[in-house]
């Protein structure tokens, strides 16, 4: 299939998102077309590098590589400090460009390092997971976790280039691939009934990594996110809808110390909780709620949540970065493809929804 390009306007520049099978082979050409003066440093981890390092190395042989530990629990300041150390030892200057090769965690860490080292380096994303390809590599949000909450430390630092190659997904374990599909469901729920139904209809083809099916859903998600972030780059209004499922989802990740749940799985629980709250408030029909639950179940079983503490999750939500002037901004669905942002969701409503998901008091 012919590669597709989506252009995204940020406050500082416009950057291209290239989507196409086999694009990794053209990485150096795309880099030179976008960033004229650069010294490339690849940020990745051992697992990703074992799978894709040879191909990336052939594509951009001049790049220097910095490998960091794998896992959400390493999305912290110590890891960023290690990147700083390696850049300083290598004599990196402001012409350096950081190329994040990996999933959302790599993108967030490398992006935060790029935003803060020497007051800002150029950033390129080469996402290797479905979740990163449809969501986290686009929009300029970068950051790290704090012991008291997820993504509490960060910046808005748009990339100069995003290169999405669906062939990189062939090495993903099924669970990781499925975790990305929960984010696709999110995009259908917040903006596109067509995407929601398409995923439901073509799920087998998507799981089989059929190029046309994969390209279609990845491109649709990228275009939805591009439209949203161009309208509200710094999340003062419209962009908040991208947090659908993330209020409860982030709390679940934080409460389990980022070890048990993939991000997409936690978001799936968060979407189910938000749907339950919206239905109980009369803002979301039982039919739509059942349709969302059915599609989530079609992807496969979510990890058990029966031992999670409702009290701990609610306490973690109270430290959420989406609390503004003491009010929690909660994204609720009002239909497939429609959401609203409210400020009056109560702890009792959240508790009731978490009980329905099988969590304990």
**Residue bearing tokens 């959400």:** 72
Domains of the chain in start order, with CATH, are 4-171 (3.40.50.1970), 174-356 (1.20.1090.10)
Q: Strands 330-335, 327-328: parallel, antiparallel or unpaired by DSSP? A: unpaired
User: Measured between alpha carbons, how far is 288 from 192 in angstroms, rounded to an integer?
Assistant: 14
Taking the C-alpha atoms of residue 198 and residue 125, their distance in angstroms, rounded to an integer, is: 27
Question: What does residue 320 show for φ and ψ, rounded to 5 degrees?
Answer: -65, 145
Catalytic residues: 119, 141, 183, 225, 235, 239, 243, 246, 250, 263
Q: In tens digits, what is the pLDDT along the chain, a chain of 361 residues? A: 799 999 999 888 999 999 999 999 999 999 999 986 789 999 999 999 999 999 999 999 999 999 999 999 999 999 999 999 999 999 999 999 999 999 999 999 999 999 999 999 999 999 999 999 999 999 999 999 998 888 889 999 999 999 999 999 999 999 999 999 999 999 999 999 999 999 999 999 999 999 999 999 999 999 999 999 988 777 767 788 999 999 999 999 999 989 899 999 999 999 999 999 999 999 999 999 999 999 999 999 999 999 999 999 999 998 876 676 667 889 999 999 999 999 999 999 999 999 999 998 7
Distance in angstroms (rounded) separating the CA atoms of residues 271 and 248: 8
Of 230, 56, 33, the closest CA to residue 126 belongs to 56
Task: Tell the residue number behind the tokens 């803060």, with chain if given.
Answer: 116
Angle at 255 between CA 253 and CA 260, to 5 degrees: 50
């Amino acid at each position: 299939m012919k590669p597709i390009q989506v252009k995204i306007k940020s406050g500082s520049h416009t950057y291209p998102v290239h989507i196409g099978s086999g694009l990794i082979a053209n990485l150096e050409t795309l880099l030179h077309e976008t960033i004229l003066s650069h010294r490339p440093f690849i940020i990745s981890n051992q697992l990703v590098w074992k799978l894709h390092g040879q191909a990336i190395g052939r594509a951009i042989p001049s790049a220097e590589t910095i490998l960091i530990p794998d896992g959400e629990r390493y999305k912290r300041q110590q890891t960023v400090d290690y990147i700083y150390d390696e850049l300083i030892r290598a004599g990196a200057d402001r012409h350096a460009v950081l190329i994040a090769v990996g999933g959302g965690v790599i993108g967030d860490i490398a992006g935060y390092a790029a935003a803060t080292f020497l007051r800002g380096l150029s950033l390129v994303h080469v996402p290797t997971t479905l979740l990163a390809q449809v969501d986290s590599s686009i929009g300029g949000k970068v950051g790290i976790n704090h012991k008291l909450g997820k993504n509490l430390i960060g910046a808005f630092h748009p990339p100069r280039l995003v290169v999405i190659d669906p062939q990189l997904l062939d090495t993903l374990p099924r669970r990781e691939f499925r975790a990305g599909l929960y984010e696709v469901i999110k995009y259908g729920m917040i903006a596109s009934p067509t995407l929601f139904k398409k995923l439901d209809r073509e799920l087998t083809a998507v799981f089989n990594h059929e190029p046309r099916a994969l390209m279609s859903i990845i491109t649709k998600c990228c275009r939805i996110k591009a439209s949203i972030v161009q309208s509200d780059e710094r999340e003062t209004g419209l962009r908040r809808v991208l947090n659908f499922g993330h209020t409860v989802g982030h709390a679940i990740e934080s409460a389990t110390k980022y070890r048990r749940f993939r991000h997409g799985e936690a978001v799936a629980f968060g979407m189910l909780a938000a749907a339950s709250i919206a239905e109980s408030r009369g803002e979301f029909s039982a039919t739509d709620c059942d349709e969302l639950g059915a599609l989530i179940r079609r992807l496969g079983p979510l990890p058990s949540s029966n031992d999670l503490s409702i009290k701990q999750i609610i306490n973690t939500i109270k430290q959420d970065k989406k609390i503004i002037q003491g009010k929690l901004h909660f994204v609720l669905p009002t239909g497939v493809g429609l959401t609203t942002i409210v400020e009056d969701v109560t702890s009792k409503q959240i508790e009731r929804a978490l009980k329905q998901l099988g969590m304990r008091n």
